[in-house]
């Protein structure tokens, strides 16, 4: 039996075997190639396993390199079951302006090595804090999508000291994950096997960009075959927990999201979190950063610039609440 197939504890993500894992990694590399080139890769140790990290930024030695060094870096956290390659529509725009780190969550289908469960909220925050510490990142803009959005929100609630802001892209952690979302996931996976001529129509109907980007479709299909995720859906934060957050929050949701109720959360989050911003994007569902990448990239960079340019506590000028 291969190392990847060696029996792991029930709550540790694992690969079925080495051959399927390697095919999946090749598919991930093809998706990575659609985005900005990584300037470096790291493996950093935490209490929960080894975290694989990609670093992006302007080409070394250019004027943009100096400008990026003067801006707060960005840290990206992907959704459940995936890897950092899913950020390919966003890394070119973000990396033109800032240093960007894309973390791969242990327990998901990626190059991180999962050893200790981290699905409990306090453990998830500890893992992320340890990963940032290992990268010597004391102040970052954290951006998460779906499950990664819950990780960012949970971090803002439990360990906010390193956070300049948190951007949540159609995130988990605001509502209980319902049957309609799991049904959408199942139907979308089934649709990846549809004839090529039907996929654009299905992709539009399902708000599912996986169906219309061949490399993304191949990666998702390979990941489903290769990896077994072993993690429960996170419990949503209560109103009282949201009220504790003082990290600047930026919520972006799709009008047709099936993970949460957009209007409800676009009203709730700014009401409970001082200074939070919320936006609902038309004509999209759960993947706004993929199928509306240009708009989302512009919104994110504008928001991050506004945070960095605002007076901070200790500057002799009143800072943000």
Q: What is the mean pLDDT of residues 115-122?
A: 94
Q: What tokens were used for 226? A: 């290769």
Give me the mean pLDDT over the 212-227 stretch. 93
Locus of tokens 């070119």: 92
Q: Does 145 score more than 70 pLDDT?
A: yes
Predicted confidence band at 257 (pLDDT cuts at 50, 70, 90)?
Answer: very high
143 or 66, greater pLDDT: 143
The string of DSSP letters for 61-80 reads TSHHHHHHHTS--EEEE--T
* pLDDT attached to residue 320: 33
pLDDT of res. 178: 84
**Range of 10-24, 181-195, 204-218 with top mean pLDDT:** 10-24
d(CA 20, CA 41): 22
- Global confidence as pTM: 0.91
User: Cα-flanking dihedrals φ and ψ of residue 29, to 5°?
Assistant: -60, -35
Give me the percent of the chain exceeding a pLDDT of 90: 73
**Distance (Å, whole) CA 280 – CA 282:** 7
Give residue 4's pLDDT. Answer: 47
Domains plus CATH for the chain? Answer: 36-176+238-308 (3.40.50.1820)
With bands split at pLDDT 50, 70 and 90, how would you rate the model's confidence at 1? very low
Which position has the higher pLDDT, 151 or 233? 151
In this model, does residue 85 exceed pLDDT 80?
yes
211 pLDDT band, cuts 50/70/90, is: confident
Q: Tell me what pLDDT residue 9 has.
A: 61
Question: Region 221-244: what's the mean pLDDT?
Answer: 94
Of the listed ranges 10-24, 170-184, 224-238, the one predicted with least confidence: 170-184
**What is the structure's pLDDT at 200?**
78
pLDDT at residue number 61: 67
User: Torsion angle, CA of 75/76/80/82, rounded to 10 degrees?
Assistant: -120
Across the chain, what does the average pLDDT equal?
90
**Average pLDDT of the segment spanning 39-48:** 97
Of residues 230 and 269, more confidently modeled: 269
pLDDT at 120: 94
Q: Is 302 helix (H, G, I), strand (E, B) or coil?
A: helix
| Contacts for 171 with CB less than 8 Å, ≥ 6 apart | 144, 145, 146, 148, 149, 150, 152, 153, 251, 259, 260
The residue ranking higher by pLDDT, 287 or 91, is 91
What's residue 319's pLDDT?
A: 33
């Amino acid at each position: 039996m291969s190392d990847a197939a060696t029996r792991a504890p029930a709550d540790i993500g694992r690969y079925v075997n080495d051959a399927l894992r390697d095919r999946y990694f090749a598919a991930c590399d093809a998706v990575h190639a659609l985005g900005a080139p990584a300037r470096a890769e790291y493996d950093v140790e935490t209490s929960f396993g080894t975290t694989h990290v990609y670093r992006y930024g302007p080409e070394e030695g250019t004027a943009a390199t100096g400008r990026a060094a003067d801006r707060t870096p960005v840290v990206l956290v992907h959704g459940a079951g995936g890897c950092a390659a899913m950020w390919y529509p966003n890394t070119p725009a973000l990396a033109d302006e800032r240093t960007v780190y894309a973390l791969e969550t242990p327990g998901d289908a990626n190059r991180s090595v999962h050893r200790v469960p981290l699905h409990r909220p306090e453990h998830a925050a500890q893992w992320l804090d340890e990963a940032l510490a290992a990268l010597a990142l004391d102040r970052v803009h954290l951006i998460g999508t779906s499950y990664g959005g819950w990780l960012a929100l949970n971090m803002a609630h439990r360990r906010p000291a390193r956070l300049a802001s948190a951007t949540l892209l159609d995130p988990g952690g605001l509502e209980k994950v319902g049957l309609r979302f799991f049904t959408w996931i199942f139907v979308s996976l089934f649709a990846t096997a549809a004839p090529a001529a039907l996929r654009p129509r299905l992709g539009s109907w399902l708000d599912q960009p996986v169906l219309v980007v061949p490399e993304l479709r191949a990666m998702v299909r390979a990941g489903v075959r290769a990896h077994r995720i072993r993690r429960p859906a996170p419990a949503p934060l209560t109103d009282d927990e949201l009220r504790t957050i003082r990290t600047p929050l930026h919520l972006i949701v799709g009008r047709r999201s099936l993970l949460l109720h957009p209007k409800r959360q676009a009203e709730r989050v700014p009401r409970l979190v001082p200074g939070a911003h919320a936006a609902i994007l038309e004509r999209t569902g759960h993947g706004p950063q993929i199928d509306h990448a240009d708009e989302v990239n512009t919104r994110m960079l504008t928001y991050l610039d506004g945070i960095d340019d605002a007076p901070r506590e200790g500057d002799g000028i009143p800072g943000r609440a």
